[in-house]
Amino acid sequence: MTSTSTATQRATLRAGSSWMVLALASACQFMVILDVSIVNVALPSVQRDLGFTATGLAWVVNGYVLTFAGFMLLGGRTVDLFGLRRMLVAGLFLFSAASVVGGLAPAPEVLVGARVAQGVGAAMLAPATLAVINTYFTEPQARARAFGAWSASGGVGGMAGALAGGVITTGLSWRWVFLINVPVGAMLIVQAMMSLVGRRASRRESLDLGGAVTGTAGLAALIYGIMQSAVHGWMSVRFLGPAVAGLLLLVVFAVVEARVATQPMVPLRLFTIRAVAASNVMLLLFGGIAIAMWYFTSLFMQNALGYSALEAGLGQTPAAVTFVAIARLSANLLPRTGARPLVLAGSVCFVAGFGWLGQAHTDSDYVTSVLGPTLLIAVGIGLTFPTLMAAATADAPEGDAGIIGGLANTASQVGGSVALAVLATAASAKVGTDAADAGTPAALAAGYDLVFLMAAGIGLAIAIVSLLLPRHRPG
């Protein structure tokens, strides 16, 4: 077996208190998600100080997202091979060290390189946090509550990022957006060393290098191509080249895993587990829900309703608070109801909420046209996201907790990247149908309305796929 037999992990983890372990996993998830949003606010200051071009500045964000999503599967498998504590500490160390480099960066290239390294560290951390929950919290009620807290911490991280980024950039410097990670990372490393007990296994599987190279390169190329489509279009060489190369590499990856590798990085037998397969498909779709909710509603409030960035952030705060509260509630319901009813209820909220939001116009008021539907959508997110994460990882075979977590995180990240490109293209096409009105608030509102109606369709698709979930209760 692998060096991190799940049964042994469960035994050794009991040496640390459960709340300390959950606090550690939640704090790591908070930091990973926070770093996605906190940097966005600081970008104008970064551009002025370091002399970034507009194209180069995008890679302060893209460099992180690309390696975060592209290396997730590899990060998940290394957790299984080398152990939770070892990989969690390694991920925290890399993330923190890259933050130091980013905060002290004297030139654009150094900052982009630091962001790439941060993404790799995050790709080690995210599946490790899920593996901690999956291997330590074995009782259904406790596991469900742990997933609820973990999901809520990510929501709080996303919400806090925009506000904290503005405060830190204005009050201190954009450099502290990165440097603040260093003391936090150091404290989490100490906590990991105290809470998680390492162990030495009798024998260890070797890493599937063929699968690691083809899988990581394929995901990275595909995501890079999708990023290019938003700027250059779906028929451009800049999209088609890397996207086709990525898909071909992923085909080779599947062949390697099925026929060549004796110890595959992603055992294809995992997809024969009904809950794993269905949940990952829904997490792929859920990426579109998250993008439509948090990204496009912010743009709608700013570009169609004329809100400032701060007003738009405050306008999304009630929905973020609702998500956190409902995520905790769904954690209590999950052991009693199972996953399917919660996902179906959440999907109904998506269809109704986005359908309602899709009727908003430039003269709409906040309370009835934005607050109401976003609260409804937030209820849906709170019901579905922790439930899908729990369902995707609950039946993880012994020794596969890390890669199962990597699959779930990869699905949601790739789904978000694809959805952003598709929905942005659809909105642009809608805006451009009338050249005379293109770029006006009314035209932009029409584009966002189309996005919201498409998101309602995604919610319906999630409801249909949820019928494939097994009837048994997770745990």
Over residues 326-363, the pLDDT tens digits come to: 988 888 888 888 889 999 999 999 999 999 999 988 88
Using an 8 Å Cβ cutoff, are 94 and 121 in contact?
yes
Among 178, 198, 218, give the residue marking a domain's end. Answer: 198
pLDDT at 23: 85
For residue 387, what are the domain limits? Answer: 269-475
On the 0-12 / 13-18 / 19+ scale of CB atoms within 10 A, 114 is: buried
pLDDT at 232: 77
Task: Pick out the chain residues at pLDDT < 70.
Answer: 1-16, 41, 54-55, 159, 162-163, 165-166, 197-205, 230, 260-262, 309-310, 395-401, 432-439, 472-475
Global model pTM greater than 0.85: no
pLDDT at 39: 78
**Which residue type is seen at 272?**
T
Is 41 part of a structural domain of the chain?
Answer: yes
Instruction: Report the CATH number at residue 120.
Output: 1.20.1250.20
Residues 6+ apart with CB under 8 A from 176: 103, 168
Using an 8 Å Cβ cutoff, are 354 and 459 in contact?
yes
DSSP states along 428-451: HHHHTTSTTTTTSHHHHHHHHHHH
Rounded to whole angstroms, the Cα distance separating 356 from 451 reads 12
Rounded to whole angstroms, the Cα distance separating 401 from 79 reads 8
pLDDT at 177: 85
- Whether residues 192 and 273 fall in one domain: no
pLDDT at 452: 94
Is 332 part of a structural domain of the chain?
Answer: yes
- Whether residues 190 and 276 fall in one domain: no
Using an 8 Å Cβ cutoff, are 459 and 347 in contact?
yes
Among 141, 168, 198, give the residue marking a domain's end. Answer: 198
Using an 8 Å Cβ cutoff, are 123 and 67 in contact?
yes
CA angle 440, 415, 59 (to 5 degrees): 65
- Whether residues 284 and 186 fall in one domain: no
DSSP states along 132-180: HHHHH--SHHHHHHHHHHHHHHHHHHHHHHHHHHHHHHHHT-THHHHHT
- Whether residues 289 and 146 fall in one domain: no
Rounded to whole angstroms, the Cα distance separating 325 from 236 reads 44
pLDDT at 5: 41
Q: pLDDT (tens digit, 9 = 90+) per residue, 135-144?
A: 777 777 777 7
The count of structural domains within the chain is: 2
